[in-house]
């Protein structure tokens, strides 16, 4: 039944004209592969090792944040001065950690692993530009810049989400803000009564100056 009701596909048959046969030279895949592997960074065991260490360290520090958003550690709510002091302390500690334990560690590992094959104290700018060491340094610079951008972006996104957690807006209802059950800051309000006006009133002055009073 299906075969009888099936609509045949009507396509125009087109035959390409015959122009002949072109013989392509044999592709030297093995030679090209060996050439690429010889130039590629993975051909050096030290480069492969330092790349793994570099990437592992970058991923480890990428999970850190410039600002502390752990509510349990912050022990919210805080006064504004107290919250600022905690964030300043966390920011300084993270900056020092990145500067010393991240940057200096990676630079030291690169020099220690590659010092036997590359001259890190080349005085000629032209020789350094043409050397293989410059490509290696640029490679690690690209990796480091990429992870630093991710680190900064993640820190900003994490802080924004932290602030948003204290609001419960209903965007579908046109709301922008709503009172949160978890407070962030302690705000102390005080009212200072104005001092009593010690200047003599006009009526008493008039009574004093009036001789008939």
Q: Looking at residues 175-188, what average pLDDT do you find?
A: 75
In a domain, 48, yes or no: yes
* Cα separation, 209 vs 190, whole angstroms: 42
CA separation (Å) from 20 to 9, 13, 14? 31, 21, 18
pLDDT at residue number 58: 77
In a domain, 12, yes or no: no
In a domain, 207, yes or no: no
Strands of 108-188 (E only): list them. 185-186
Q: Residue 106 pLDDT > 80, yes or no?
A: no
In a domain, 176, yes or no: no
* Cα separation, 141 vs 147, whole angstroms: 10
131 contacts 117 by C-beta, under 8 angstroms? no
Domain containing residue 88: 44-163
In a domain, 14, yes or no: no
Q: Residue 99 pLDDT > 70, yes or no?
A: yes
116 contacts 47 by C-beta, under 8 angstroms? no
The model's pTM:
0.60
* Number of independent structural domains in the chain: 1
In a domain, 89, yes or no: yes
pLDDT at residue number 86: 92
In a domain, 66, yes or no: yes
In a domain, 177, yes or no: no
Query: Residue 119 is encoded by which pair of tokens?
Result: 């001259």
Q: Is the Cα dihedral 144, 146, 147, 151 positive or negative?
A: positive
pLDDT band at 156 (very low <50, low <70, confident <90, very high): very high
Nearest residue to 184 (alpha-carbon basis) of 38, 78, 30: 78
């Amino acid at each position: 039944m299906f075969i009888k009701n099936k609509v045949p596909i009507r396509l125009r048959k087109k035959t390409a004209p015959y122009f002949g046969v072109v013989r392509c030279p044999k592709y030297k895949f093995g030679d090209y592969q060996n050439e690429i592997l010889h130039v590629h960074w993975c051909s050096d065991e030290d480069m492969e090792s330092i790349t793994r260490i570099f990437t592992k360290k970058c991923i480890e520090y990428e999970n850190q944040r410039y600002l502390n958003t752990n509510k349990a550690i912050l022990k919210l709510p805080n006064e504004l001065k107290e919250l600022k002091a905690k964030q300043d302390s966390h920011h300084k500690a993270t900056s020092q950690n990145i500067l010393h334990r991240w940057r200096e560690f990676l630079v030291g590992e690169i020099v220690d692993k590659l010092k036997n094959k590359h001259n890190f104290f080349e005085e000629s700018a032209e020789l350094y530009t043409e050397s293989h060491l410059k490509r290696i340094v640029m490679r690690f610079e690209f990796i480091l810049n990429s992870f630093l951008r991710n680190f900064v972006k993640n820190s900003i996104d994490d802080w924004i989400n932290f602030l948003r957690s204290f609001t419960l807006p209903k965007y579908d209802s046109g709301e922008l803000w709503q009172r949160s059950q978890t407070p962030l800051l302690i705000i102390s309000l005080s009212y200072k009564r104005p001092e009593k006006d010690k200047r003599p009133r006009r009526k008493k002055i008039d009574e004093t100056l009036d001789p008939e009073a």
